[in-house]
Amino acid sequence: MILEIKKLMAKGAYSGEISFDYQPPQDLNLLPLCKIDGGVKVEGTYEIFDGGEVEVTLKLSYKLVGQCSYCLADAEEQIEYSTEPLLFVTDKDDADNYVYDGNRLDLSQAVVDALLFSQPEVLLCDNGCKGE
Q: How do residues 58-112 score in pLDDT, each as one tens digit?
A: 999 999 999 999 999 999 999 999 999 999 999 888 889 999 999 999 999 999 9
130/14: higher pLDDT: 14
Beta strand pairing call for 2-4 and 54-67: unpaired
Q: Structure pTM? A: 0.90
In angstroms, the CA 30 to CA 53 distance is 32
